[in-house]
Amino acid sequence: MCLETELISTRDYYFVPGRFRVTVPIIKGNQEKADFMAHGLNHIPDISGYINPTTGRLLLTYDV
């Protein structure tokens, strides 16, 4: 499976040290693509991610 080129919305994001929340339009309403992205996030050291396919948002948490 391949994700399309418009992965994130550069207009809709929120950042504080240790947390980054962003809209990912391609996963909204698409559990299969959300699961694919979650699988990829599981392989990044020191980062935890939560993907909500209902809202199309991704939350990344990390140590600062």
Domain boundaries, the chain: 13-62
User: What sections of the chain are H helices per DSSP?
Assistant: 31-41
Question: With bands split at pLDDT 50, 70 and 90, how would you rate the model's confidence at 2?
Answer: very low
Within 10 angstroms of residue 27's Cβ, the number of other Cβ atoms is: 25
pLDDT score at 9? 66
Q: Say if residue 1's pLDDT is above 60.
A: no
Do residues 64 and 17 make contact, with C-beta atoms less than 8 angstroms apart?
yes
pTM (2 decimals)?
0.77
Task: Please compute the mean of the pLDDT values over residues 10-23 and round it to a whole number.
Answer: 89
Distance from the Cα of residue 62 to its chain's centroid:
13
Give the burial class of 5: count Cβ atoms within 10 A of its Cβ; 0-12 exposed, 13-18 middle, 19 or more buried.
exposed
pLDDT score at 16? 96
